[in-house]
Homo-oligomer: A and B are copies of this chain.
Amino acid sequence: MNAGKAKNNPSSKIVILDVAEDLFAVRGYRETTIADIAKQANMSAANLYRHFENKEDIAAACAHRCMERKNKALREVLDRKRLSAAERLEEFIVSLLRYTYEETQNRPKMNEMVEVVICCRPEMVHLMMSNLQSMIAEILAQGNAQKEFAVENVVAMAETVFASIVVFYTPLFMHLHPLPEFEHHARAMAELLLRGLTRR
């Protein structure tokens, strides 16, 4: 009966993920054990295993939450004000960079978790990314509708644009430049992409 209770208690799942996310991001995925997570979450390892099959499972759920937060933040940026499609695309790229940069600032081991998910659950990465790609597709469709852009296949082009800005949303790369320099690169990228997207 206790097992059933634990399984149906969403808050204990959230506690596990909160704890695991902090441990993974600061101490590192590899250095964190299931026992560490259970201890910090004030529960037995047996109780924890009622919610998750293994550490990889917990990492996948954490990564999913991180992506949902990122999607939500970007959705707010996109909905904020009336902008041309070109302005919206530039703002989207810069916001994605800023969000990723800030997120990794106090989370030095963040990329270990990202790496585990990329290697072991690529299908999950594809799924999670599709949300950001849809936002780009939305911007491209707006640009087409307003005769700013001339994009034939909005979905395929959104995929290409998304791939071209991978350096701005991958935690691993956040070590490469200070933020202002990175922002400069992001704006230059937006300009190049916009030259390719706009009508001639």
Q: Which residues of A contact B (CB under 8 A)?
A: 30, 111, 115, 118-119, 122, 125-126, 156-157, 159-161, 163-167, 172-173, 175-176, 185, 188-189, 192-197, 200
Contacts and interface: CB of A to CB of B under 8 A. Distances in A.
A154 to B, nearest CB: 13
Nearest to A129: B176
**Secondary structure of the A contact surface, majority rule:** helix
B188 A160 contact: yes
Given A115-B172, A160-B189, A192-B196, 20 more contacts: A30-B30, A118-B173, A118-B175, A122-B175, A122-B176, A125-B176, A157-B192, A159-B185, A160-B188, A161-B192, A163-B189, A164-B165, A164-B167, A164-B193, A166-B166, A166-B173, A172-B172, A193-B196, A195-B195, A195-B196
Contacts of A163: 167, 185, 189
Contacts of A111: 115
A115 B113 CA distance: 13
Instruction: For the complex of A and B, list the 3 residue pairs with the smallest distance between their C-beta atoms, beginning with the closest.
Output: A196-B196, A195-B196, A164-B164
Contact of A119 (B119, B175, B193, B194): B175
Contacts of A159: 185, 188
